[in-house]
Amino acid sequence: MNGSPKPSFEIIHMISAVLVELNAVFENCELAVQQLYVLAYIDSHGRMTRAGQKVLLRTTVTKILKEVFKCNDNKVSGWVNELLTLEFLGETTLSKDEKAKLFLVQKGRGKAVFIGKKGSAKLSFFVQQLIKVRRELTKKNSKLLKAPQTREYGPIASSLHFFLSAYQK
């Protein structure tokens, strides 16, 4: 057994091990990465309407997804429309005044999307799954961070472990 791995292998090991865990989280959520991203983005950046719904303009959702995932309008429409059909998202039309008040924009369509109850539940489940992965990563001698046949973390795993542990609730 070796002490710690070479940094180049350590990075490959950590990326591989963490990707396997994250892929399992996404599979358990049964939505595309992009769809979970939409739910999280609306939850994080949405604006509260008078009716108490956190909304985001549909045009903003399209712009963000295209920018982050390097895709076209058809892909974005497919992801968002599926979320609407499955009732993870709802859709509303904002009045010009409410749109201007919430988003400081008067031009364009007033179509906005909001997270429905199913969407909130799915987002909560997703976050809980990510917390489980984080717990595993912050365990002492985490198997995800420690390369096979080594006794200790390398410098990169040690740094990641420290960073993740320092900001735990």
In a domain, 2, yes or no: no
CATH number for the domain harbouring residue 42: 1.10.10.10
User: Domain count of the chain?
Assistant: 1
Query: Bridge-partner residues for 55, per DSSP?
Result: 47, 114
**Mean confidence (pLDDT) of the chain:** 90
Q: What is the mean pLDDT of residues 68-85?
A: 96
pLDDT in tens, 102-133: 998 878 888 999 999 999 999 999 999 999 99
Asked if pLDDT for residue 159 goes beyond 90, the answer is no
In a domain, 105, yes or no: yes
pLDDT in tens, 33-73: 999 999 999 999 999 988 888 999 999 999 999 999 999 99
Evaluate the CA torsion angle 110, 111, 113, 117 in order and state its sign.
positive
By the 8 A CB rule, do 42 and 115 touch?
yes
For the CA atoms of the chain, what is the radius of gyration?
20
- Looking at this protein, which amino acid is placed at residue 1? M
pTM of the shown model: 0.84
- 119 alpha-carbon distance from chain centroid: 13
Q: Whole domain around residue 56: which residue ranges?
A: 7-166
**Cα angle 144, 145, 151; round to 5:** 110
- Taking the C-alpha atoms of residue 76 and residue 66, their distance in angstroms, rounded to an integer, is 7
